[in-house]
Structure 1
Amino acid sequence: MEALFGYGSLILPMSVLGRFDEELRSRIDELRENGGASKEFLNYYMSERPVEKWKASDLHMVPAKIYGLKRSYSLEVYDSGNMLVAEEASKDEFINGVVIFPLDKNQVDKISETEEGYRTVEKKRDEIESYIPEEKLSEKGVEIPDKVKVYVADEEVEEVNKDTERTRSEPYHQYIVNGIRMIAEEWYTDEDQKQKLVEDFMSDFRKTTFEIDENMEWKRMIQK
C-alpha cells in the first residue's frame, strides 16, 4: 500500500479517481481532446457518476498539515491562470491538503503520469498533523500510513515561473474548495463540525499559500 499527499486538485476526491479509473480518465481525455480545460473537467467530476464512484471506493482522504514544505500559484499551465506547486522549506513551515490511501503501485503510477513537472519527496508520520482527531480516526478504523509521498517542483520545469505575472486559475482553485467541503461531509454528520473543518482548513490554506499581487510581489493569500 502507498499513500500520497494532495494539496491542489488532488484534494477533490473525484479528481484522484480520475487519474486511474479507466471510465473517468477516458472521459477527461475526451474533454481535453475537444479543447476542454479546468472548468469543464471540474464540472464533469462534480456530476453524478464520478461522485458515485468515489462514494463506492475504499479511498481514505484525511485532511492534514504536512511540514517542511511551502507552495505558491506559480505553475503556468492553463490560460485561466496558474496552478499550485510545492517546494521544500524549513521544518517549521507547512502546507495543508489530504493524505490519500490506500493506493497500489499501479494507481500511484497512473496519478504520477498526470503530474508532469513534479518529483516526489517522502514525508514521515511525525511530519503530518491531522485535522481529524485521533479518536475520530480510530472510530472509523483509519490509520495514517508511516510514509507519505508528496509531489514537489522539479527545478528544470519551465512552467514553474517565480517571475509570473498571473494569479491563480479560479476553476482550479475550486477543486480545493469543493474537495474539502465534500471530505468534511464524509467525516462528520454534525453541520457545525463540518463547517469548522472547512473553515479551519481554508484559513490555513490562505495563510500558507503564496500568490502574486497587483504589484508583482509574492504575498500569502491572507495578505492580499
Structure 2
Amino acid sequence: MNASKKYFAEALGTFALVLFGCGAATIASVTQSGPVGIGVLGIALAFGFAVLVMVYTIGPISGCHINPAISIAMLAAGKLSAKDTLGYVIAQCIGAVAAAGLLYLLATGSAGFVMPKWGLGSNGWGAGYGGEYNMTSALIAEFVFTFLFLMVIFGTTSERHNAPMMAGLAIGISLALIHMVVIPITGTSVNPARSLGPALFSGGMALQQLWLFIVAPIAGGLCAALVRKIFIDD
C-alpha cells in the first residue's frame, strides 16, 4: 500500500476516534437543560465503537493503529518500520488535533460556553478532575491498561489467530472496557494522540499534565511488546 495512503488512513481514523469519543464526553453529555445522562458507559461505548468501525474501515489500508502507543509498540515488535512509525505518529497527531479543533468549533456554538479547566474531553488527574485520583494512580492506570490493550491487539492480530476478522470486535470491546474503569481516574487516554488534541485547545492544566499521557501509554505499549516477544511468540 502506498505510504501516503496509509498515513492519510491513520489521520482519518484518529480524527474519527477523537471526534466520536471526546465528542461524546463534551457534547453528548450536556444540553441546554442539563445533563443527558450518557455517563461513563455511554462515553466508553463511544470510544469502543469508534475503534471498532475504524478497524473495518481503514484496517486493510494501514492496520488501523490510530494511536502512537500502538505504532511504537509495533516498531519494537518488528512489525512496523521506523519510517512508517514516524509517518503514522505524525498523521495520528494531525488527525487528533484536527478533530479537537472541530469539536472546539462545535462546542463554542453553544450559548454561554466557557472552556473548563480540562475541556473537550481532556485527560487529567488530581483535585477537580473526575474522582480526584492522584498522579500515582493516573500513571499506574495508564501504563497497565495500555499494556493490556496492546496484549489484546497483539493476540488478535497474530498470524496464529484463527479468526482475524473478529479482531476489530475484540479490540473495540477491550477499549470500551478500559474506559469503563479508567474514566473516573484520568478520563482514559491509553493514546497520546487522543490526549494531545483536546489538551492543545483546552490549555491550562490539561496541557500541563499532558506529559503523563504521552509517557505512560508508550511505556505500557513497549512493555507489552517485550512480554509478547519473550513469553508468547516463538
Does the pair score TM above 0.5?
no
Structure with the bigger percentage of helix = 2
Give me the TM-score of the superposition, normalised by structure 2: 0.33
Structure with the bigger percentage of strand = 1
Give me the TM-score of the superposition, normalised by structure 1: 0.34
